[in-house]
Amino acid sequence: MAGKNIVEADLVQWLRRFGERLLASDGENRELAARMVWLGDIGFGVLSEVAGEIGRELLGREGEEEAEVWFEKGVQQLDAEDYEDSIFRASYQN
């Protein structure tokens, strides 16, 4: 970074702002999140730590959203008294 006149502290601040925008958006960023977690795992100082935190938050959020969708489908099947299909689908989703 020194050869490109990039100050790590400035890059970390930019990454934090970028992460805030990503977390505020509704878009799915699974690949970007996975790459940020990977960057967090390589141990490149504060930059890696921040990237890893953002990536894990993104992945966690997507998992929560996916769980909510499956929960709603289950509630709909329960309301429709579609117990057999509900059990069948649940057994093949895992």
Whether the Cβ atoms of residue 61 and residue 23 lie closer than 8 Å to each other: yes
pLDDT at 1: 61
Residue 51 near residue 16 (C-beta atoms within 8 A): no
| Amino acid sitting at position 1 | M
Distance CA 86, CA 94 (A): 13
In the chain, the number of structural domains is 1
pLDDT, tens digit (0-9, with 9 covering 90-100), for 5-63:
778 899 999 999 999 999 888 877 888 989 999 999 998 899 999 999 999 998 887 66
What pLDDT does residue 73 have? 73
Distances (CA, A) of 46 to 5, 65, 68, 70: 18, 29, 33, 37
Does 88 have pLDDT greater than 80?
A: no
What is the domain extent for residue 72? 2-93
Q: What is residue 43's DSSP assignment?
A: T
**Reported confidence tier of residue 79, pLDDT bands at 50, 70, 90:** confident
Match 């998992």 to its residue by tokens.
Answer: 63
What value does the mean pLDDT take over residues 65-86?
A: 69
